[in-house]
Structure 1
């Protein structure tokens, strides 16, 4: 399912030639329209008609209003069920494009061409599509696999450092939950596109292997939620306060706090907690979460999609490279984890 493109995009052209869709719908945002679309169009070799659909960038547009607009655009284009949507962009584009494609006329085919590190190693893989609703992250969506994922690592050179750092969070998570060697390879790396390219395939493989073992998230796939239960709640509160933060920054804050849950549950040592905390804080800024009420954070966590019977179910590590899921902790432990994060001095 995952293929790496050469500079001529040969595998993409081969896929389109073999499948002969009736129409190509290329979904971009303003950034990928400027920085990535020219590369795609310059290498596209087909006589099949195509349409460019552009939306604004950012998490703020990943909602039902944008989805409705896209459904209307597809209708105006006379899109039939043999069309192919090409999602060229970061996580918002692959989430949104996959959701719209999987629901339009009960589903048209789509492929993902991730252009950000976050999308390459996480959002584009696994068949989760979705939109936000009422400040709840990805609460409406489908499980729908793309036909293919085409990665072109040179797109990483178009990213600002904050976007590169955001995607790196998911790579660190993959190491913590599934591969100690991957974690060790990453923990002292200098964040440049060239340095990261060598490890992108490792992270993509971790995500793909977990998804293949548990597509519908009944068990093992829940481990990918490490850092996200608290992280998504924090991200939602910043979004609600109209102070959008990169997804990876929220996730790394969540990983520090959820690592503390592992420590307070006596699953990992203080040395491992310190290693995780120090590694993350070498790269990521400390978020001002003290401005949020703990009850608000907690209430948002209660709405996490993976909860069962009104109880918060965490995915937390019991060693670097191994993760537990459906783990329950006390409210006091959650409050202690938040206090731990706030008290860290950089």
Structure 2
């Protein structure tokens, strides 16, 4: 069941109603150039309220404390107070960073997230995880806090490139693999971009909401949402400073292939399921082989799920089911990376 604070529909109308029902001293939008160009005007047309716009550069490389300092300074200069509202409109970088900024400014002001990418609508919109990267480590500084409101409008997906849309689809695949075999079978029969996005987004939000509601602070069941992310994040981090860096979803689907292979090696899934997962992902995504295996494995040790320097991962127990806190060995990670490279050749 979707939580009450998550609204799906026309973003402009929902936002206008929310603002009219509250008495905010100041209202500000945090956006990057893309969301200003493609999304913000669509929200503001025919809606009349005074607001300020704060802009930061787009891209994961700007999800850092320097960007936070810039926004905090502008909030101070604009004389925002505890009765002010910050509206974050953009992808996961904007929503994560903006929520973190709002939650720490004056010990917390109200904020709304309006996710505009598929990735942020099906993933960052639910769960209250906020944070920034530090010293090349993803989301290593952060907190848990739900936005006062999340507004999801799939019309914004029209502004995305195929590559961005495909990247977001990674989280849709993940939700099916960990929780809904029937839906995985359904999406794998269609062309990936020939889906009903309203149905897809609502389905993913439902799955993530159900998991999160049972484990708000990620002490147990919620860890299954990290399937594909132990190795995927390590790949993404390894390639951050490379010319051919990966988008988040691209790294995560490689992580899902690798962690499905490890699930098979742990005798948690059978060969048919491994084959279905691998073939489907490689049909949807056109990704290169990997190098830098040693660095990728080294980066898995920075994963927040690890305990006592043991690498912990979430592994499938068949398509549609997942277990968590499974210790995996570095040698098996290496084997899984080799498996991915080998399948890329086919």
Q: TM-score range by the shorter chain?
A: over 0.9
SS at match of 2:170: helix
Give the TM-score normalised by structure 1.
0.95
Residue-by-residue CA offset, 1:220-272 (whole Å, 9 max, x unaligned):
11000000000000001110325432110000000000000000001111110
2:312 and 2:274 map into 1 onto residues whose CA distance is: 20
User: Do 1:164 and 1:191's aligned partners in 2 also have CA atoms closer than 8 Å?
Assistant: no
2:201 and 2:46 map into 1 onto residues whose CA distance is: 23
Q: Does 1:16 align with 2:19?
A: yes
How far did residue 6 of structure 1 move? 2.8
Q: 2:298 is matched with which residue?
A: 299
> Which of 4, 7, 12 is matched with 1:3 structurally?
7
Cα 1:218–1:123 change in 2 (3 A) is: same
Of the structure 1 ranges 324-333 and 88-97, higher mean CA displacement relative to structure 2 is found in 324-333
Runs of 4+ in 1 over 4 A off after TM superposition: none
User: Do 1:259 and 1:273's aligned partners in 2 also have CA atoms closer than 8 Å?
Assistant: yes
Q: Does 1:178 align with 2:161?
A: no
1:131 and 1:56 map into 2 onto residues whose CA distance is: 14
Q: 2:313 is matched with which residue?
A: 314
SS at match of 1:142: strand
> Which of 36, 39, 44 is matched with 2:42 structurally?
39
How far did residue 135 of structure 1 move? 1.3
Of the structure 1 ranges 166-175 and 36-45, higher mean CA displacement relative to structure 2 is found in 36-45
* Structure 2 runs not aligned, ≥5 long: none
Q: 1:327 is matched with which residue?
A: 326
SS at match of 1:256: helix
Q: Across the two proteins, how many residue pairs are aligned to each other?
A: 341
2:286 and 2:44 map into 1 onto residues whose CA distance is: 37
Q: Which structure 2 residues correspond to residues 1-346 of structure 1 after superposition, within 5 A? A: 1-6=5-10, 9-46=12-49, 49-192=50-193, 195-290=196-291, 292=292, 294-344=293-343, 345-346=345-346
Cα 1:32–1:256 change in 2 (3 A) is: same
Cα 1:202–1:105 change in 2 (3 A) is: same
Cα 1:72–1:242 change in 2 (3 A) is: farther
1:128 and 1:73 map into 2 onto residues whose CA distance is: 23
How far did residue 85 of structure 1 move? 0.8
How far did residue 196 of structure 1 move? 2.6
User: Do 2:32 and 2:94's aligned partners in 1 also have CA atoms closer than 8 Å?
Assistant: yes
Of the structure 1 ranges 335-344 and 184-193, higher mean CA displacement relative to structure 2 is found in 184-193
SS at match of 2:163: helix
Q: Cα RMSD over matched residues? A: 1.4
Cα 1:132–1:81 change in 2 (3 A) is: same
User: Do 1:5 and 1:12's aligned partners in 2 also have CA atoms closer than 8 Å?
Assistant: no
2:163 and 2:300 map into 1 onto residues whose CA distance is: 26
Give the TM-score normalised by structure 2.
0.95
Of the structure 1 ranges 248-257 and 331-340, higher mean CA displacement relative to structure 2 is found in 331-340
Cα 1:55–1:193 change in 2 (3 A) is: farther
SS at match of 1:266: coil
2:13 and 2:192 map into 1 onto residues whose CA distance is: 29
User: Do 1:233 and 1:300's aligned partners in 2 also have CA atoms closer than 8 Å?
Assistant: yes
